[in-house]
Amino acid sequence: MPELVVTALLAPSRLTLKLLRAFMWSLVFSAALVAAAVYGCIALTHVMCRPRRGFCGRPRHNPPVCLSDPTLGEHCFLILRSSGLRLHYVSAGRGKGPLMLFLHGFPENWFSWRYQLQEFQSRFHVVAVDLRGYGSSDAPKDVDCYTMDLLMADIQDVILGLGYSKCILVAHDWGALLAWNFSIYYPSLVERMVVVSAPPMSVYQDYSLHHIGQFFRSNYMFLFQLPWLPEKLLSMSDFQILKTTLTHRKRGIPQLTPSELEAFLYDFSQPGGLTGPLNYYRNIFRTFPLEPQELATPTLLLWGEKDPYFEQGLVEAISSRFVPGRLEPHILPGMGHWIPQTNPVEMHQYMWAFLQDLLD
C-alpha cells in the first residue's frame, strides 16, 4: 500500500490521539494549579507556626551517623554502562546467595531498606541502591534524564554490573513502578519480585479513570508537574511537609527516630537535592495513554489496608492483569504505605515463605 494512502488512513487516529493528549494536559495543569494553591497554604501555615525556621530548608553539612552503620553493609559506587552515571549502593552478604536488589520510593533513599538489609544478608547478596537523582548517586538536572526507559536501563546496568544474570527485585513506591515495568521489558533478568504499595502505571491509569477517589489520594503528583515551585514548597519551614509525610502518626512512620528522619532529609537538603526525585513525577504523564500489559513474573504483592495514597481496589485490578498462578497478593490489616519500615517483621515472614523454594 502506498505510503501516502497509509498516512491518510492513519490521520484521523493520530489527530484523535493528539486531541486526547492536549485535553489530558489541560486537566493535569489545571489540577496542578489547584494543588499548588492548597500546598502553598499548607507551607505558609508551617512557616507562620514556626517562624524561626524561615522560608528555606536548613542545609545539613554532616550526614547522620546511622547512614554509616556497618551492620547494614558496605558503601560502594558503580559506573553505569548505558549512561556513564555513577550510582551509589550499599551491599552486604556477597557470595552468600542470589542477588536481592532493593529499589526505594519517594521521599526516601537506600536507608529505607535498613531492616531488610540486616534480615536477608545471611542468605542473599543484598544491594540497596540510591536511584539516579537521589542521595550520593549522580543527579542530572534535565527532566528528560528521568524517563522510564533510562531508569529501567539503570536497573539493567546495576544487575549486570554486579556480575549477575538475574535477581530478586524488591521494590516500594516509586521503586515499585520501575520494577513492574522492568519485569515486563527485561523478564529474563528478574527471577522473582516482591512489590510493596504501588501498582503498574498502566493499571493505575485505567483504575484512576474509573475511580475519582484515587486522583484525590494522588493529588501531590499534580503539584509536582510544575517547575521549581514544588522544590520551594517542600523545603519551606525546614522541609516540614516532608517531615510530616514521613512521621505523621497515622499516615507516616511514627517510630522514626530523629536520626533516621535526618537520614532522609540530609540528601534533600543538599543543593538541588529535591529536583532529581521530583523529575520522576514530571515524566509520569508523558506516555499517556498506556496500553494494558500482561504481567507474568512470579510476584509477592504486599499492600497496606490503610494505605493513604493507593486504594485497595488496585490490588484486584493488578490481579486481573496477571498470568494465573503468578501473583501472590496480601492486603495487610491495619498497615499503611511504609510497610518496609513500619512492619518489617510481617514483611520478612511473607518474603521468607515466598522465597523458600529458592533456598532449599
Residue of 138, 154, 157, 173 marked active site: 173
Question: Is 150 exposed, middle or buried, given 0-12, 13-18 or 19+ CB atoms closer than 10 A?
Answer: middle
User: Are the beta carbons of 332 and 305 closer than 8 angstroms?
Assistant: yes
For residue 357, the SS3 value is: helix
Question: Is 338 exposed, middle or buried, given 0-12, 13-18 or 19+ CB atoms closer than 10 A?
Answer: buried
CA distance 48 to 140: 34
Residue of 39, 89, 207, 281 marked active site: 281
Contacts of 240 (CB under 8 A, 6+ apart): 43, 46, 50, 53
- Residue among 161, 154, 144, 205 at smallest CA distance from 175: 154
CA distance 128 to 341: 14
The grid cell for 41 is: 497554604
281 is catalytic: yes
User: Are the beta carbons of 113 and 128 closer than 8 angstroms?
Assistant: yes
Residue of 46, 104, 125, 337 marked active site: 337
User: Are the beta carbons of 235 and 274 closer than 8 angstroms?
Assistant: yes
Asked whether the bond before 107 is cis by omega within 30 degrees of 0, the reply is yes
Residues labelled catalytic: 173, 281, 337
